[in-house]
Structures are given as C-alpha cells and as structure tokens.
Amino acid sequence: MTQSELIAKIAADASISQAEAGRFLDAVLSAVSGALSKGDEVRLSGLGIFDVAERAAREGRNPATGAALKIAASKAVRFRAAKALKDSVNGGKSK
C-alpha cells in the first residue's frame, strides 16, 4: 500500500476529504518522528511500539577489499509489532 492509497482509505473510512486525510497522516507522522528524535518511544495500541536503539561503534570490513574500517556509533528506529497486529497477520493465530 502506498501513501496515496493509505490516504484514500483513511478518507473513505472516516468520511472526510483526501486533503484532510493527507493532513491528518502528515500530522501523525510528524508527531511520531518528533517524539523519536527526542528519544521518546511511541506506543500505538493494536499496532506496536516505535523506539530508538543505540548502535555502538564497531569495526567492519570493506567487502570488496577486505580492508578494516571503523563504523561510527549511530541510532536506529526500531519497531516491535503488537500481539493484535501479529495475530491479524497470522489469521488470528498466535504462537
């Protein structure tokens, strides 16, 4: 599903215009992005948890030459799906 398709689905389900649905989606994504950039986690019931994971600096290898190189520390966005989402993807079955 593309962003345009998602906006169309939101508009149809909420009986609003696609322009309003687009602004709504932009606001949600901006709020999630802002919270993550501050280091906060975002919990969406039934969907999952977005948070920021710290990655330590490490040594890697250039696959072409085999030369060692330093990989700087970084942050990565992590998503953990909620049980309800996992169950819906698996047809209502859980492990």
pLDDT-based confidence at residue 95 (cuts at 50, 70, 90): low
Tell me the whole-structure pTM to 2 decimals.
0.77
Write out pLDDT tens, residues 35-76.
999 999 999 999 999 999 999 999 999 999 999 999 999 999
Assess whether pLDDT exceeds 80 at residue 92. Answer: no
CA 73 to chain centre: 21
CA separation for the pair 8, 47 (Å, rounded): 20
Assess whether pLDDT exceeds 60 at residue 17. Answer: yes
Question: For domain 3-89, is the CATH number 3.90.226.30?
Answer: no
Question: Domain spans of the chain?
Answer: 3-89
Nearest to 58 by CA among 75, 76, 70: 70
Helix pair 18-37, 3-14: axis angle to 10 deg: 120
